[in-house]
Structure 1
Amino acid sequence: MSYGKFASIYDSLMQDIPYDQYVEWVASRKTSGKLLDLACGTGTLAQLFAELGYEVTASDLSEQMLTMANQRFHESNLRIPTYQLSMDNLEGLQGFDAVTIAIDSLNYLKNGEQVQKTFNEVHKALNEDGMLFFDVHSVYKVDEIYMDSPFILDDEEVSFIWHTEPGKAKHSVIHDITFFVRQQEDLYQRFEETHEQRTFPVATYITWLKAAGFVIESITADFTEAEPGRESERIFFCARKV
């Protein structure tokens, strides 16, 4: 999806995400090599991986996100090639030792067929024994936690009112968010974004990964090494190409 004006405030909204822990999680299982960061957003993770010594390539479907990512890489003197691609169509990208799909990006795919195709595309893009790392919202988070809206953030620079409702598909959610972004001392710009996400049970992801030619290395929850429980919110998958 195209994030529009959302790209300009994405980093402010994501400042509580423990990106360093994400990098540590990947680095503990794949210490070096060529890494493809799918749905890279504004490039925060790609930059961290590059600074750690990985040879990074980044892609995102959103032109606005890639513009900000390229600016970040330029300011950090990093040579990270970028591509405007959907994660379920990676034609021409091959030879990677690791692929990441971070911060519930996979949940933006509309149906199971797209998820399966993404796993197939990633499998083709990876070298033998290459690793896929991704996280998704749990069914519990989508079906229960997200249904407790509205959520409100009142901040000096960016505020929002966030309403949710169930999507048409099972385990899906529609986010309707109204943003107020400070322009001057007493002037705020208002704009609206609608995002739809969908998730699936852990067992379904396992089935699709195995069908694509992966073996499961680990499944953990909420930035820990613990196995997922009923009330886990974010599920982390590490899978290896065979």
Structure 2
Amino acid sequence: MDDRPAYDRLNAIYDRFQADLDPLAWAEYIHQLHLEQRLPHTNQGEGGRPLLLDLGCGTGRMTAGFVPLGYDIIGVDISPLMLEQAMFNLSEAGIKPLLLLQDMCEFELYGTVDLITCLLDTVNHIIDIDRLRKFFAHCATYLHPGGVLIFDLATEFHFAEVLGNAEFFEISDDYALLWQNAYFPETTLSRSEITLFEATEDGLYVREDVTIKERYYSLEQISNLLTEAGFIDLTIHGDVGISGAPELAASLDRAADLRILRSSETAINPKTTAVSENIGGTERVFFVARSGKPIPDSECISE
């Protein structure tokens, strides 16, 4: 049995699946959400820069988009080969990040950060709700007072309708990939059986078989868990074209263009406030939540 993390076996071609994503557009969008939600306080990065923790950073391609916006970067991933690729990618771009080989549900840092991100439906890969609870608790622990957690979540429409029980394939000169998906609505689990044939220099192919499991979580489930972990001021935003990036560029400076599905002035109380699940054909939603820790008077700054 191969006990390597699933994405260890896909690291060589992983970025090709994200070729249509613009890391700079993603970073700019998330930066705007961060500015809208954060409370003014002294930043934790070197030279007063904001410090960002990217959980499940993978190859670092998306992480790199935040550097031009002034963030110092910490990346966490459970895959050694993904982190190796991330170090190469970021170093090639002149970036010197701190990369940590850790389980994102049990990570440890030496201090707190200003922004935590977890992108590309990485949260859906946490299929055990107790581990998801632990994930949010760790995020709450390592966010500085006034800091913000931002992550995206794949919707039921994505799992049931877009992936569903379909089969996909992709063939190029140097690899062939077969993907068989199955969605189980009774458990909200999605299972992807992936077979990769990768060409070698001697003209042969190396076969890798990978199983990836994800789980659909309702907006209410996630909202409740965030509240339980001590987060406040939760907002949920629809996918406003960020996947393809071009539609997003023209709307980044207009907060009104963000389709807010649910917003609260304080922590959501699930007993009194229902969270709308009416998101239609949206494949992805973004959660933004702020740390409930009070900011020490010594760190408060005026904007």
Distance (whole Å) between structure 1 residues aligned to residue 111 and residue 189 of structure 2: 32
C-alpha contact 2:165 2:182 (8 A) present in aligned 1 = no
Q: Deviations over 1:142-197 (max 9, x none)?
A: 23332241112233344322101235971111100112334459654432211111
Distance (whole Å) between structure 1 residues aligned to residue 76 and residue 240 of structure 2: 24
C-alpha contact 2:116 2:149 (8 A) present in aligned 1 = yes
**Aligned equivalent of 2:151:** 134
- What TM-score do the two structures reach when normalised by structure 1? 0.91
**Aligned equivalent of 1:18:** 22
How far does residue 208 in structure 1 lie from its aligned partner after superposition?
0.6
How far does residue 10 in structure 1 lie from its aligned partner after superposition?
0.6
Bigger radius of gyration among the two: 2
Q: Name the structure, 1 or 2, with higher relative contact order (CA <8 Å, separation 6+).
A: 2
Number of aligned residues: 242
SS at match of 1:151: strand
Q: Which of 7, 12, 23 is matched with 1:8 structurally? A: 12
**Aligned equivalent of 1:231:** 281
Pick closer, same or farther for the CA change 1:204–1:86 going to 2, 3 Å: same
Pick closer, same or farther for the CA change 1:148–1:110 going to 2, 3 Å: closer
SS at match of 2:179: strand
Which has the larger displacement, 140-149 or 95-104? 140-149
**Aligned equivalent of 1:207:** 224
Distance (whole Å) between structure 2 residues aligned to residue 148 and residue 127 of structure 1: 42
Q: Deviations over 1:45-103 (max 9, x none)?
A: 22221232101111101111111111122222221011111111122343200000010
SS at match of 2:86: helix
Structure 2 unaligned blocks of 5 or more: 36-48, 242-257, 262-277, 293-303
Structure 1 unaligned blocks of 5 or more: none
Q: Which of 64, 70, 88 is matched with 1:53 structurally? A: 70
Q: Which has the higher strand share?
A: 1
Note the 1:47-126 alignment, pairs <5 A: 47-126=64-143
